[in-house]
C-alpha cells in the first residue's frame, strides 16, 4: 500500500472516532468558530516575498525534521521575518502535528494560518474553522471533482479560504466552481516522495488566471524563488528548508530578506 493510501485509510478511521467523541455541534460552539478569518490570498498578494512558512516536526520522507523547536517560538520568528502566512500540519501519526498547535498559535499569530491536513471529510473543514484556521488545503490526488466542489463550497460558506494542491495536469482538471482561492503545485510526488521543481514550471501555464498560484515543496534556494517568480508564481510554501536548521526562525529571516532584497 502506498504511503498516501495509508494516510487516507488511517485518517478515515480517526474521523469516525472524532465525530462521536467531539461532534460537529460541539465544534460549532467553540469560541474560535465565530472569528473572522484573515485572507491568505490577500496576504500573499501584498507580500514582497510571498513566502508561506511551515511548521513541521517530521514527515514520512524525513522522519525527524525538528523535535526541539517549540511552535510558539518558531511562529513568532516567522512573523518577525515577514512571512506572508503560516502552514501548520495537524496530522498526528505521520507528521507529529496536532490541532492544538493551531489553537496555541492563534492568539499570537497576526498572519493567516493554513491548516495543512489530508482533508477527506466535511467534519475536518468545520473543525478547521473551530480551531482558528484561516484557510484549508484540499489535495486533488485524494479527492474527486465532486469532493473538491462540495468541500470548497462548505469552506467558503464558513469564511475559510481554499488552497487546492495539484501535482499533475490531470488533477488540475478536477477543479470546478467559484469557491477556490489558490492553486498550489506540489513539486513532491506524494506517491514516490521525489521532488522536481519543473512540475511547477510545466503546469503553470495550464492554471487559469483567476487563481493565485503558489509553488510548494523542495524550495531551498533563493534562485529557485526568482525562477518561479519569472514564470509567474506569487507564493511559495517552504517548510523543511527552515525546520531542518538549528534555528528555523533565523533561517527563515535570512532567506526572506535575501528574496526581498533581490527583487
- pLDDT above 70: residue 127: yes
pLDDT at 36: 97
pLDDT in tens, 232-261: 999 999 988 999 999 999 999 999 999 998
CATH number at residue 26: 3.20.20.70
In this structure, the number of other CB atoms found within 10 A of the CB of residue 221 comes to 13
Pairing of strands 212-216, 235-238: parallel
The confidence score (pLDDT) of residue 193 equals: 73
How large a percentage of the chain has pLDDT more than 70? 98
Is it the case that residue 64 has pLDDT exceeding 90? no
- In the block, cell 506517491 appears at 191
| Of 7, 11, 104, 90, residue with least CA distance to 54 | 90
Residue 263 has pLDDT above 60, yes or no: no
* Structural domain total, the chain: 1
DSSP 112-132: -EEEE----SHHHHHHHHHHT
Structural domain of residue 70, as residue ranges? 3-261
**Residue carrying the nine cell digits 512540475:** 199
SS3 state at 141: helix
Each residue's pLDDT tens digit, 177-210: 899 999 999 998 767 778 889 889 999 999 999 9
DSSP designation for 38? P
Question: 3-class DSSP state for residue 55?
Answer: strand
Task: Output the pLDDT for position 1.
Answer: 67
- Let me know: does 249 contact 80? Beta carbons within 8 Å: yes
**Rounded to an integer, what is the distance from CA 4 to the centroid of its chain?**
16
Backbone angles phi, psi at 161, to 5 degrees: -90, 160
Q: Which residues, at least 6 apart from 11, have a Cβ–Cβ distance to it below 8 Å?
A: 91, 118, 120
> pLDDT tens for residues 73-106?
999 999 999 999 999 999 999 999 999 999 999 9
Residue with cell 535575501: 258
Confidence (pTM): 0.95
CA atoms of 40 and 137, how far apart (whole Å): 12
Which pLDDT tens digit goes with each residue over 157-182? 999 999 999 999 999 999 988 999 99
Phi and psi, residue 82, nearest 5°:
100, 25
Amino acid at each position: 500500500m502506498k504511503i498516501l493510501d495509508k494516510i487516507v485509510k488511517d485518517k478515515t478511521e480517526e474521523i469516525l472516532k472524532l465525530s462521536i467523541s467531539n461532534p460537529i455541534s460541539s465544534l460549532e460552539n467553540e469560541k474560535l468558530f465565530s472569528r473572522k478569518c484573515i485572507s491568505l490570498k490577500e496576504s500573499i498578494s501584498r507580500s514582497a516575498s510571498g513566502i508561506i512558512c511551515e511548521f513541521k516536526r517530521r514527515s514520512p520522507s524525513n522522519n525527524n525534521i525538528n523535535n526541539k523547536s517549540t511552535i510558539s517560538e518558531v511562529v513568532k520568528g516567522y512573523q518577525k521575518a515577514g512571512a506572508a502566512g503560516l502552514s501548520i500540519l495537524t496530522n498526528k501519526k505521520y507528521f507529529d502535528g496536532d490541532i492544538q498547535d493551531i489553537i496555541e498559535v492563534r492568539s499570537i499569530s497576526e498572519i493567516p494560518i493554513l491548516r495543512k491536513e489530508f482533508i477527506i471529510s466535511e467534519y475536518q473543514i468545520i473543525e478547521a474553522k473551530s480551531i482558528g484556521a484561516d484557510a484549508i488545503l484540499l489535495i486533488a490526488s485524494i479527492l474527486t471533482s465532486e469532493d473538491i466542489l462540495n468541500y470548497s463550497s462548505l469552506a467558503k460558506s464558513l469564511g475559510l479560504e481554499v488552497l487546492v494542491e495539484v501535482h499533475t495536469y490531470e488533477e488540475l482538471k478536477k477543479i470546478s466552481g467559484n469557491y477556490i482561492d489558490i492553486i498550489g503545485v506540489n513539486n513532491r510526488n506524494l506517491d514516490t516522495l521525489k521532488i522536481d521543481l519543473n512540475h511547477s514550471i510545466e503546469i503553470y501555464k495550464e492554471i487559469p488566471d483567476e487563481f493565485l498560484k503558489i509553488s510548494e515543496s523542495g524550495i531551498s534556494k533563493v534562485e529557485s524563488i526568482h525562477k518561479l517568480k519569472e514564470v509567474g508564481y506569487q507564493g511559495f510554501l517552504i517548510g523543511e528548508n527552515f525546520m531542518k536548521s538549528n534555528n528555523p526562525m533565523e533561517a527563515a529571516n535570512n532567506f526572506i530578506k535575501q528574496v526581498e532584497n533581490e527583487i
